[in-house]
Structure 1
Amino acid sequence: MMRLDKLLGHTGWGTRKELKELCKGGHVTVNGTVCRDSSRKVDPFADAVAVDGEAVVYEEHIYLMLNKPAGVVSATEDNLSPTVIGLLPQKYQGAGLFPVGRLDKDTTGLLLITNDGVWAHGITAPKKHTDKVYEAVVAGTIPDDVGERFASGLVLADGLHCLPARAEQTGEDRLTIVVQEGKFHQVKRMCAAVGLRVTKLQRRSIGALVLDEALQPGDFRPLTEAERELPFSSKNPFQQEKNMVL
């Protein structure tokens, strides 16, 4: 059981003050009867709640795949820049959603968003060693031994010892990079350690979950039940195709 205003807030119908007025105005019904008490306890799975005749559909946990565009930050709120949560419609704004891990402001691609803390921790926990595949466009001459240097475990300028990673040249100025960590600006800093500057970076996959190519930058969709398990796979989907075994 939960308070009616909590249920309505979770599903994006407004702030607690707005919901109180909504109920007082007779806009909310519970099982077909007008309810003017926003503090009333309801069963979100058994009671039929509606606002002006529109059914309120409750989901305890939400799992979304977002194609993150450049220029937005991986945060729930920010005073200076738009956030990934702000890209979502109103119905998601009260659900307590947050990004799973982060992508840099100018990095694009696969970002997961949820309100399930246990699920998120299972993906981001360092001990999981989950493959994350990136496509990087770089400036500079790609060293012939770039793969060996990444595989040996790079030491960055600040002394950070990176886990063994994988880099494969896929074009004159392009690399496919697989890492199992998510340190601050890590892929860019690893490229800098071999004399390269990243000009464009996109995350393609987390574990076995691949970014849906039908999603345009800024678009999102819910994950299917089967897709929710894919980030926990320790092997990336491009491994066999590229022979990229860590």
Structure 2
Amino acid sequence: MRLDKFLSGQTACSRSELNRLIRNGAVTVNGIVIRKPDTAIKPETDAVALQGKPVLYQQFHWFLLHKPTGVLTAARDPKQKTVMDLLRQDDRLPKLAPVGRLDLDTSGLLLITDDGQTAHRLLSPKHHAPKYYLAKLRDPFQPEYVQKFRDGILLREGASEEACKPAECAQIHTRLAVLELREGKYHQVRRMFAAAGNEVESLLRVQIGMLQLPPDLPAGTYLHIFNKDVESALKNSDISQVCAFCDAYYSSYWINSGK
């Protein structure tokens, strides 16, 4: 692989900026200064450094973001702040995009990657990874919601009604519930509870498959994650385990806050 191509895939620098840095002696390969951008390297074995900092080879990049409310899930937007604006400048790599979407007024776990194939696996109906949401309701949770959601509650779609796929839900406090979804309709969680006669006041995505939102990750910040973490997002969890996780780390805050 060419040195400039390698660096363009591992850094947020433009190709022209990288060429300038290489020619100015800012790049070493195995400790030797290289000044030719088209120098061939072996990414898996050669030690590359840019301005003295090692550049580690990753074929794909994954970030786990705690999306805050009020931030748009999009790669770019001319008017609104997007989730990509939350990334540090040196993490804004080419081809990065959010995996799916979270509504503007929903917070929680959002993945960002340049691995389109695995992102497609996470989103495709065939492999649709279960997603878990913690909802704070306006009114107390009613036991009949469980069967309504399992049966596939009807949502209005234009002039007709369409049944949701069967979904699991469980109560963890008077007005707190966890909902498992395996599809992604527009504003689905809020519309499902509205169809059941309630209203969602706040909504947090806490888990995808077995991949959890770290309780100590503040809204608006993110982590680099790796293949083993991403693979866990494709595995099935159990709603009782998610309820225990939410009850341990999120319930008291949501009960006592204005969220």
Q: Is TM (by shorter chain) over 0.5?
A: yes
TM-score, scaled relative to structure 1: 0.87
How far residue 135 of structure 1 moved from its aligned partner, in angstroms, is 0.7
Paired residue for 1:19?
A: 18
Paired residue for 2:112?
A: 113
Q: Which protein has the bigger helix share?
A: 2
How far residue 26 of structure 1 moved from its aligned partner, in angstroms, is 2.4
Say whether the 8 Å CA contact 2:180–2:239 is kept in structure 1: no
Paired residue for 1:100?
A: 99
Q: How does 1:214-233 map to 2 (within 5 A)?
A: 214-233=216-235
Paired residue for 2:173?
A: 171
Paired residue for 1:154?
A: 153
Count residues with an aligned counterpart. 241
Say whether the 8 Å CA contact 1:154–1:162 is kept in structure 2: yes
CA distance in 1, matches of 2:23, 2:224: 33
TM-score, scaled relative to structure 2: 0.83
How far residue 4 of structure 1 moved from its aligned partner, in angstroms, is 2.1
- The unaligned stretches of length 5 or more in structure 1 are none
Say whether the 8 Å CA contact 1:130–1:231 is kept in structure 2: yes
CA distance in 2, matches of 1:15, 1:224: 25
How far residue 142 of structure 1 moved from its aligned partner, in angstroms, is 4.3
Say whether the 8 Å CA contact 1:108–1:201 is kept in structure 2: yes
Q: Which is worse superposed, 68-77 or 228-237?
A: 228-237
CA distance in 2, matches of 1:56, 1:131: 35
Paired residue for 1:89?
A: 88
Tell me the alpha carbon deviations over residues 1-43 of structure 1, each in whole angstroms, 9 at most, x when there is no partner: 2x32222222225111211222232222333333333233322
Aligned CA-pair RMSD: 2.3
CA distance in 2, matches of 1:13, 1:73: 21
How far residue 225 of structure 1 moved from its aligned partner, in angstroms, is 4.7
Paired residue for 1:205?
A: 207
Q: How does 1:34-73 map to 2 (within 5 A)?
A: 34-73=33-72
Say whether the 8 Å CA contact 2:178–2:243 is kept in structure 1: no
Say whether the 8 Å CA contact 2:149–2:168 is kept in structure 1: yes
Tell me the alpha carbon deviations over residues 168-206 of structure 1, each in whole angstroms, 9 at most, x when there is no partner: 333333221111111221111111212222221001111
Q: Which amino acid aligns with 1:74?
A: T
User: Which 4+ stretches in 1 moved above 4 angstroms?
Assistant: 140-144, 239-242
CA distance in 2, matches of 1:44, 1:230: 27
Say whether the 8 Å CA contact 1:165–1:180 is kept in structure 2: yes
Q: How does 1:1-12 map to 2 (within 5 A)?
A: 1=1, 3-12=2-11
Say whether the 8 Å CA contact 1:71–1:105 is kept in structure 2: yes
Q: Which amino acid aligns with 1:14?
A: C
CA distance in 1, matches of 2:46, 2:224: 24
Residues 226 and 16 (structure 1), Cα distance of their counterparts in 2 relative to 1, 3 Å cut:
closer
- Aligned-residue sequence identity (percent) comes to 38
Q: Which amino acid aligns with 2:52?
A: G
Match of 1:194 among 193, 196, 211: 196
How far residue 79 of structure 1 moved from its aligned partner, in angstroms, is 1.6
Q: How does 1:111-150 map to 2 (within 5 A)?
A: 111-140=110-139, 142-150=141-149
Say whether the 8 Å CA contact 1:129–1:234 is kept in structure 2: no
Paired residue for 2:247?
A: none
CA distance in 1, matches of 2:8, 2:123: 28
CA distance in 2, matches of 1:132, 1:150: 15
